[in-house]
Amino acid sequence: MSSFTCPSGHASTEADYCDTCGAKIGGPPPPLSSSSSEESAPRTELPKGELCPHCGTPRAGSARFCEDCGYDHTTGKLPQLTEALPEPVTPGEWTATLFADPAYFAMNAVEGVTFPAGTGERIVSLTPPQMRIGRKSSSKGTSPEIDLADTDPGVSHNHALLTLNVDGVWLVTDLGSTNGTYIGDEDQPLSAGQSRALKDGDQVHVGVWTTLTLHAP
């Protein structure tokens, strides 16, 4: 008996169509299934980018510093983090150091208010002609240069104003604040609209715990 081979390799007794799979004798081989092609095709791994050795974050191209932890891929060191000043200080300008003052807070003795823990100092440059002290608020339309909205709940939206006069002396003026503006160790605050000349080392107290110490250049 004659035997014929189909495109799939089966031995068939029929000359026209395979009596095993039905493929046409002499026709093209059947296409490979997707599963068989995946098995036969070589798998290629996508190249992995360089990872930060400190935190494992993928490196963005040839960027020098890790976007997550700041690791320096060039020197192999972590950055030396320092507390940044909220505003740049320019040499030759008056500055004010702001801090939460426990002595001033004790003098106020505001019920239900707890003195903040772990607060640091903030240094700002006094930029002529004026520096407003208050709380930023879109609804009130206030945008003070020295914004204490997130640091002292007792500061009024328009609390006080620092002004450089023609003689080069900084003045502080109370703007009708709720809790008053105090100078140094004085027991009475400035009245609304009242001004006082300041010198190097003078302290201005606002809110429930904030003290500003002025420093001459």
Angle ∠(19,22,25) on CA atoms, nearest 5? 85
pTM greater than the 0.85 cutoff: no
| Predicted confidence (pLDDT) per residue in 32-42, tens digit | 544 444 444 44
| Predicted confidence (pLDDT) per residue in 160-202, tens digit | 999 999 988 999 999 999 889 999 999 999 999 999 999 999 9
Write out the H or E segment, with its range, that includes residue 37.
Answer: helix 34-40
| Predicted confidence (pLDDT) per residue in 77-92, tens digit | 665 433 333 455 455 6
- The set of long-range contacts for 185-192, using a CB threshold of 8 Å and a minimum separation of 24, is 190/160
| Predicted confidence (pLDDT) per residue in 77-136, tens digit | 665 433 333 455 455 689 999 999 999 999 887 777 788 887 788 999 999 999 999 999
Cα–Cα distance measured from residue 99 to residue 121, given in angstroms and rounded to the nearest whole number: 5
DSSP 72: B
Is pLDDT larger for residue 76 or for residue 216?
A: 216
